[in-house]
Amino acid sequence: MSARKATVAGWVALVLGILFVLLQSYGFLAYSVVMVFSYYPEWAYAPLVTGPPVVIGVLFLIDWWLRRRSVTAAPRPST
């Protein structure tokens, strides 16, 4: 059994490949929350302005979660 070494390229690929969608979704949801507090005196418009971005962010998170659950690990070679 050979030991695998984590390289910088491997970590970059991990972050960009697997976690990039998750980071984008969290960033988008955080942006939506910040936007709610940015127009404090006009709370009546909050659902109209932030509703669609929040729904889109939640849908991206659900899609990421479902796709992550559907991926199966490759079988390990027998020695």
Count of domains forming the chain: 1
Output DSSP code: residue 9. Answer: H
pTM: 0.43
Query: Is residue 1, in this structure, part of any structural domain at all?
Result: no
Domain that holds residue 34: 20-70
Q: How far apart are CA 3 and CA 52, in angstroms?
A: 47
The set of residues, in sequence order, having a beta carbon less than 8 Å from that of 79 and lying 6+ positions away, is 1
| Per-residue pLDDT at 71 | 67
pLDDT digits (tens, 9 = 90+) for 12-42: 776 666 677 777 778 887 887 787 777 767 7
pLDDT digits (tens, 9 = 90+) for 38-69: 776 777 777 777 778 778 878 888 888 888 77
Query: Is residue 6, in this structure, part of any structural domain at all?
Result: no
Query: Is residue 46, in this structure, part of any structural domain at all?
Result: yes
